[in-house]
Chain A
Amino acid sequence: QLQLQESGPGLVKPSETLSLTCTVSGGSISSSSYYWGWIRQPPGKGLEWIGTIYYSGSTYYNPSLKSRVTISVDTSKNQFSLRLSSVTAADTAVYYCGRLGISAYYYKWFDPWGQGILVTVSS
Protein backbone atom coordinates (compact mmCIF):
# COMPACT_ATOMS: atom_id res chain seq x y z
CA GLN A 1 0.00 0.00 0.00
CA LEU A 2 1.45 3.31 -1.07
CA GLN A 3 2.20 5.76 1.72
CA LEU A 4 3.50 9.31 1.71
CA GLN A 5 5.16 11.09 4.62
CA GLU A 6 6.03 14.77 4.85
CA SER A 7 9.05 15.89 6.83
CA GLY A 8 10.83 19.14 7.59
CA PRO A 9 10.99 22.02 10.06
CA GLY A 10 7.77 22.99 11.79
CA LEU A 11 8.92 26.56 12.33
CA VAL A 12 10.40 28.92 9.76
CA LYS A 13 11.36 32.56 10.21
CA PRO A 14 9.85 35.28 8.01
CA SER A 15 11.80 35.98 4.81
CA GLU A 16 13.52 32.58 5.00
CA THR A 17 12.93 29.50 2.83
CA LEU A 18 10.53 26.72 3.77
CA SER A 19 11.85 23.27 2.79
CA LEU A 20 9.85 20.06 3.00
CA THR A 21 10.38 16.53 1.75
CA CYS A 22 7.82 13.87 0.91
CA THR A 23 9.02 10.27 1.19
CA VAL A 24 7.13 7.70 -0.83
CA SER A 25 6.98 4.11 0.41
CA GLY A 26 5.25 1.04 -0.96
CA GLY A 27 5.71 2.12 -4.56
CA SER A 28 8.09 3.80 -6.96
CA ILE A 29 8.13 7.53 -7.55
CA SER A 30 9.43 6.73 -11.05
CA SER A 31 6.16 5.16 -12.16
CA SER A 32 5.10 6.60 -15.50
CA SER A 33 1.45 6.54 -14.42
CA TYR A 34 1.67 9.19 -11.75
CA TYR A 35 2.66 12.72 -10.94
CA TRP A 36 3.34 13.98 -7.43
CA GLY A 37 2.14 17.16 -5.81
CA TRP A 38 2.01 19.57 -2.89
CA ILE A 39 -1.15 21.11 -1.45
CA ARG A 40 -1.47 23.37 1.57
CA GLN A 41 -4.20 24.40 3.99
CA PRO A 42 -3.93 27.47 6.24
CA PRO A 43 -5.44 26.90 9.69
CA GLY A 44 -9.23 26.90 9.49
CA LYS A 45 -9.22 27.53 5.73
CA GLY A 46 -9.52 25.63 2.48
CA LEU A 47 -7.11 23.74 0.26
CA GLU A 48 -4.65 25.40 -2.12
CA TRP A 49 -2.73 23.51 -4.79
CA ILE A 50 0.96 24.48 -4.80
CA GLY A 51 2.48 22.47 -7.60
CA THR A 52 3.02 19.14 -9.32
CA ILE A 53 6.07 17.24 -10.58
CA TYR A 54 6.69 14.23 -12.80
CA TYR A 55 9.55 11.83 -12.09
CA SER A 56 11.34 13.22 -15.14
CA GLY A 57 11.40 16.63 -13.48
CA SER A 58 8.59 18.35 -15.40
CA THR A 59 6.81 20.78 -13.09
CA TYR A 60 3.61 22.80 -12.92
CA TYR A 61 3.13 25.55 -10.35
CA ASN A 62 0.28 27.63 -8.97
CA PRO A 63 0.65 31.00 -10.74
CA SER A 64 0.12 32.84 -7.45
CA LEU A 65 3.17 31.10 -5.91
CA LYS A 66 5.28 30.41 -8.99
CA SER A 67 7.90 33.08 -8.31
CA ARG A 68 8.69 31.57 -4.90
CA VAL A 69 8.20 27.82 -5.42
CA THR A 70 10.55 25.06 -6.51
CA ILE A 71 9.54 21.40 -6.53
CA SER A 72 12.18 18.77 -7.23
CA VAL A 73 12.40 14.98 -7.30
CA ASP A 74 15.07 12.54 -6.15
CA THR A 75 14.26 9.17 -7.68
CA SER A 76 17.21 7.48 -5.93
CA LYS A 77 15.63 8.27 -2.56
CA ASN A 78 12.00 7.92 -3.72
CA GLN A 79 11.39 11.45 -2.52
CA PHE A 80 10.20 14.78 -3.84
CA SER A 81 10.68 18.15 -2.21
CA LEU A 82 9.17 21.61 -1.87
CA ARG A 83 11.02 24.87 -1.41
CA LEU A 84 9.08 28.09 -0.81
CA SER A 85 11.19 31.22 -0.52
CA SER A 86 10.61 34.57 1.18
CA VAL A 87 7.93 33.21 3.46
CA THR A 88 5.54 35.37 5.49
CA ALA A 89 2.90 34.60 8.10
CA ALA A 90 0.47 34.01 5.24
CA ASP A 91 2.43 30.86 4.37
CA THR A 92 1.59 29.28 7.74
CA ALA A 93 -0.33 26.14 6.86
CA VAL A 94 -0.54 22.38 6.96
CA TYR A 95 1.40 21.17 3.94
CA TYR A 96 0.31 17.92 2.30
CA CYS A 97 2.01 15.84 -0.34
CA GLY A 98 0.00 13.58 -2.59
CA ARG A 99 0.14 11.26 -5.57
CA LEU A 100 -1.59 12.50 -8.69
CA GLY A 101 -3.18 9.63 -10.54
CA ILE A 102 -3.86 9.97 -14.25
CA SER A 103 -6.33 7.89 -16.20
CA ALA A 104 -7.45 7.62 -19.78
CA TYR A 105 -8.61 10.97 -21.17
CA TYR A 106 -6.20 12.57 -18.66
CA TYR A 107 -8.55 12.58 -15.71
CA LYS A 108 -6.36 13.42 -12.70
CA TRP A 109 -6.88 13.19 -8.96
CA PHE A 110 -4.88 13.26 -5.72
CA ASP A 111 -4.82 9.93 -3.91
CA PRO A 112 -3.39 9.05 -1.48
CA TRP A 113 -2.29 12.01 0.60
CA GLY A 114 0.33 12.24 3.29
CA GLN A 115 -0.81 13.00 6.83
CA GLY A 116 0.33 16.62 6.53
CA ILE A 117 2.83 18.73 8.41
CA LEU A 118 2.10 22.05 10.09
CA VAL A 119 4.59 24.75 9.21
CA THR A 120 4.42 27.98 11.18
CA VAL A 121 6.12 31.13 9.95
CA SER A 122 7.13 33.21 12.93
CA SER A 123 10.18 34.94 14.35
Chain B
Amino acid sequence: DIQMTQSPSSLSASVGDRVTITCRASQSISSYLNWYQQKPGKAPKLLIYAASSLQSGVPSRFSGSGSGTDFTLTISSLQPEDFATYYCQQSYNTQFTFGPGTNVDIK
Protein backbone atom coordinates (compact mmCIF):
# COMPACT_ATOMS: atom_id res chain seq x y z
CA ASP B 1 0.00 0.00 0.00
CA ILE B 2 0.99 3.64 -0.48
CA GLN B 3 2.35 5.38 2.61
CA MET B 4 1.96 9.12 3.10
CA THR B 5 4.19 11.32 5.23
CA GLN B 6 3.83 15.00 6.11
CA SER B 7 6.25 17.60 7.37
CA PRO B 8 6.37 19.30 9.68
CA SER B 9 4.11 17.46 12.11
CA SER B 10 3.32 20.80 13.70
CA LEU B 11 4.19 24.44 13.24
CA SER B 12 3.57 27.73 14.96
CA ALA B 13 2.82 30.76 12.84
CA SER B 14 1.43 34.26 13.07
CA VAL B 15 -1.51 35.83 11.28
CA GLY B 16 -0.29 37.04 7.90
CA ASP B 17 2.51 34.47 7.62
CA ARG B 18 3.03 32.37 4.53
CA VAL B 19 2.78 28.71 5.52
CA THR B 20 3.91 25.68 3.54
CA ILE B 21 3.14 22.06 4.40
CA THR B 22 4.77 19.16 2.58
CA CYS B 23 3.32 15.74 1.81
CA ARG B 24 5.32 12.85 0.36
CA ALA B 25 4.06 9.56 -1.09
CA SER B 26 5.99 6.29 -0.92
CA GLN B 27 5.54 5.85 -4.67
CA SER B 28 4.47 8.02 -7.55
CA ILE B 29 0.79 8.96 -7.36
CA SER B 30 0.74 11.40 -10.28
CA SER B 31 -1.64 14.18 -9.16
CA TYR B 32 -4.00 11.96 -7.15
CA LEU B 33 -3.58 13.98 -3.98
CA ASN B 34 -6.12 15.82 -1.84
CA TRP B 35 -5.78 18.22 1.10
CA TYR B 36 -8.24 18.55 3.99
CA GLN B 37 -8.53 20.96 6.90
CA GLN B 38 -9.86 19.78 10.24
CA LYS B 39 -10.75 21.95 13.21
CA PRO B 40 -11.20 20.49 16.72
CA GLY B 41 -14.45 18.56 17.09
CA LYS B 42 -15.33 19.00 13.42
CA ALA B 43 -15.27 16.81 10.34
CA PRO B 44 -12.50 17.33 7.81
CA LYS B 45 -13.19 19.80 5.02
CA LEU B 46 -11.88 19.41 1.48
CA LEU B 47 -9.56 22.22 0.41
CA ILE B 48 -7.68 20.96 -2.64
CA TYR B 49 -8.26 17.98 -4.96
CA ALA B 50 -6.17 16.59 -7.80
CA ALA B 51 -3.11 18.21 -6.20
CA SER B 52 -3.87 21.77 -7.28
CA SER B 53 -7.59 22.26 -7.88
CA LEU B 54 -9.24 24.56 -5.37
CA GLN B 55 -12.55 23.25 -4.04
CA SER B 56 -15.48 25.60 -4.59
CA GLY B 57 -15.90 28.06 -1.74
CA VAL B 58 -12.34 27.68 -0.42
CA PRO B 59 -10.43 30.98 -0.13
CA SER B 60 -7.83 31.62 -2.81
CA ARG B 61 -5.08 32.00 -0.19
CA PHE B 62 -4.97 28.19 -0.21
CA SER B 63 -3.06 26.57 -3.04
CA GLY B 64 -1.64 23.16 -3.80
CA SER B 65 1.17 22.00 -6.03
CA GLY B 66 3.24 18.97 -6.89
CA SER B 67 3.04 15.68 -8.71
CA GLY B 68 4.66 12.29 -8.51
CA THR B 69 5.75 11.85 -4.88
CA ASP B 70 6.15 15.39 -3.53
CA PHE B 71 3.34 17.83 -2.85
CA THR B 72 2.85 21.11 -1.00
CA LEU B 73 -0.07 22.99 0.49
CA THR B 74 0.54 26.73 0.80
CA ILE B 75 -1.45 29.29 2.74
CA SER B 76 -0.33 32.64 1.35
CA SER B 77 -1.42 34.78 4.29
CA LEU B 78 -2.51 32.90 7.39
CA GLN B 79 -5.83 34.00 8.83
CA PRO B 80 -7.19 33.37 12.36
CA GLU B 81 -9.67 30.80 11.03
CA ASP B 82 -6.85 28.79 9.41
CA PHE B 83 -5.46 27.46 12.67
CA ALA B 84 -6.27 23.76 12.30
CA THR B 85 -4.83 20.39 11.37
CA TYR B 86 -4.17 19.66 7.71
CA TYR B 87 -4.17 16.19 6.14
CA CYS B 88 -3.11 15.00 2.73
CA GLN B 89 -4.75 11.93 1.18
CA GLN B 90 -3.83 9.89 -1.88
CA SER B 91 -6.48 8.54 -4.24
CA TYR B 92 -4.16 6.94 -6.78
CA ASN B 93 -5.78 3.54 -6.41
CA THR B 94 -8.83 2.15 -4.62
CA GLN B 95 -6.95 1.85 -1.30
CA PHE B 96 -6.89 5.36 0.10
CA THR B 97 -4.40 6.52 2.69
CA PHE B 98 -4.05 9.73 4.66
CA GLY B 99 -0.97 11.50 5.89
CA PRO B 100 -0.48 11.81 9.66
CA GLY B 101 -1.46 15.46 9.71
CA THR B 102 0.17 18.84 10.33
CA ASN B 103 -1.10 20.95 13.19
CA VAL B 104 -0.91 24.71 12.59
CA ASP B 105 -1.21 26.75 15.76
CA ILE B 106 -0.76 30.32 16.88
CA LYS B 107 2.75 31.57 17.58
Identify the A interface with B (CB < 8 A): 37, 46-49, 52, 60, 62-63, 96, 101, 103, 105, 107-116
Q: Count CB-based A-B contacts (< 8 Å).
A: 65
Hey, what's the 0/1 contact readout for B73-85 against A, CB within 8 Å counting as 1? 0000000000000
Distance A111 CA – B46 CA, assembled complex (angstroms): 6
CB pair B46–A63 under 8 Å, yes or no, is no
Which chain B residues in 42-67 approach chain A with CB under 8 Å? 42-46, 49-50, 53, 55
Question: How many interface residues does B have (CB within 8 Å)?
Answer: 25
Given the interface contacts A49-B96, A114-B43, does A109 sit within 8 Å of B34 by beta carbon?
Answer: yes
Q: Report the minimum CB–CB distance from A114 to chain B (whole Å).
A: 7
B69 contacts partner chain A, Cβ-Cβ < 8 Å: no
Q: What residues of chain A lie closer than 8 Å to B43, measured between beta carbons?
A: 96, 112-116
